[in-house]
Amino acid sequence: MIFRHRAGNRIGKRTLNIGILTIGDELTNGRIRDANAPWIAARLYRMGWNIPVIMTVGDTAEAIGRAIDSLSSQCRAVIVTGGLGPTPDDITVEAVAKACGRRLIRNDLVLASLRERTEACGYRWTEGHRRQALIPEGADVIPNPVGSAWGFSLNHRGCLFIVLPGVPEEAERMVADQAIPLLKRITPVSPAFVASRTLKCFGMPESEMEERIRGLIPENGEVLAGFYPRFPEVHLVLTARHPRKAEAEENLRRVETAVSEILNPCLFGRDEETLEGIVGSLLTRKALTLAVAESCTGGLIADRLTDVPGSSLYLERGAVTYSNASKTALLDVPEAILAEFGAVSEPTARRMAEGIRNAAGVDLGLSTTGIAGPTGAVPGKPVGTVYIALASASGTICRHCLFHRDRRKVKVAAAHTALMMLREHLLSLP
């Protein structure tokens, strides 16, 4: 939209161009895949800006200087991440100052916050920390709410450079809370309004999702659909761009409703929701308690459930029963069952769920038993075989799954499937 009516207008175009520069030898050496640039690009794009170029350079003043020259000539602003740490290989501040012809001056605000933080953590105060308090003359500092390295913004040749730390969660937080408001202030035209929704799905391959919803995405491009696999989930991001807020939201709502209906069986959450968080709120709302008995998932289900603040209110206990002895001792699984059907079997899964439910005196018992691999396969039970059972007042259900994955992914997929079963059960209750 916004591009059509400014076609050919270079200045006009440039005002919407935001560049991205990520800095680090670990990136140009290919030892690490850059997590910041794609995240930042997606975020800016969804807000209606253009990203004409993404650059990655190593920790050398020359490369950083070249990038700054090239980017300032084609962008209204540039988000820079990386190289703000306390060690000598972190040279971003010096390099940016040099490229922009500024001196480095100590910022007392940063210095004070660094001192406070190092003391709070009981760390020693080092020369490196003192270096982190230096910023280019004329720059405005950007506080770091989650880490030690502060960022800063600096105008150079009509281009605003917003320099942030490279640690992804710090960069993401500071882009969302501080960089984007700064960009909004300097963008003379309000970019197209962008309404977007992330639909989180599990249990349907990306290709099948795409095929099913294809007809529902308007040809005119007023709503775009992007697929982001986040194992074991697939996130479908719907983005509606329109100069007017109301239209963007209405277009999004229309497509989201149609798409949600089609994806319903595998669609479990939206935007920032997590599966464990959704299960947690359902348990709280229905005032039900839970206990988990894990064999092949090895504690992962309990770990995810306890990531939710307040989970102690509904999770009574978890048992990681890796040995047959512990299955008998903690879950009261009869040795006869283990002997006849084996530890990886439907009868064992059922007894585990019922056993933990009785032992813990809770409303719901959830269990997993399987073969995560790489070894342990037996005739008829290949690696990836998992039985998941849920015991409740209305009886016990059990699901047999086969995940063609490596050990960690079998655990992750099994834990996810178990939480989905729990969610479905809770939704089915009055």
Give one DSSP letter per residue of 214-264, joined into a string.
Answer: GGGS-TTSSEEEEEEEETTEEEEEEEEEESSHHHHHHHHHHHHHHHHHHHT
φ/ψ (deg, to 5) at 85: -70, 180
30 binds a second copy (CB under 8 A): yes
Provide the minimum distance between the beta carbon of 365 and a second copy in the complex, in angstroms, as a whole number: 13
Question: Judged by CB, which is closer to a second copy: 78, or 137?
Answer: 78
47 binds a second copy (CB under 8 A): no
The identity of residue 368, as a single letter, is T
Is residue 83 packed enough to be buried (19+ CB in 10 Å), middle (13-18) or exposed (0-12)?
buried
Question: Judged by CB, which is closer to a second copy: 147, or 334?
Answer: 147
Site size for a second copy (CB under 8 A) = 106
Taking Cα atoms as reference points, which of 366, 405, 363 lies closest to residue 382?
405
Instruction: Yes or no: say if 252 and 196 are a contact pair by the CB < 8 Å rule.
Output: yes
Taking Cα atoms as reference points, which of 261, 229, 287 lies closest to residue 409?
229
74 binds a second copy (CB under 8 A): yes
Looking at 189, 329, 339, 429, which residue binds a second copy (CB under 8 A)?
Answer: 329
Site residues (CB under 8 A) for a second copy, limited to 251-310: 292, 294, 297-303, 305-307, 309-310
Q: Which stretch binds a second copy (CB under 8 A): 24-32, 91-99, 175-183, 258-266?
A: 24-32
Using the structure block, give the residue that is written with the tokens 């069952």: 337
312 binds a second copy (CB under 8 A): yes
143 binds a second copy (CB under 8 A): no
173 binds a second copy (CB under 8 A): no
Q: At what angle do helices 61-72 and 92-99 cross, to 10 degrees?
A: 50
228 binds a second copy (CB under 8 A): yes
Site residues (CB under 8 A) for a second copy, limited to 371-430: 372-375, 402, 404, 407-408, 411
Count Cβ atoms below 10 Å from residue 207 Cβ, excluding itself.
Answer: 10
199 binds a second copy (CB under 8 A): no
338 binds a second copy (CB under 8 A): no
31 binds a second copy (CB under 8 A): yes
171 binds a second copy (CB under 8 A): no
Provide the minimum distance between the beta carbon of 187 and a second copy in the complex, in angstroms, as a whole number: 18
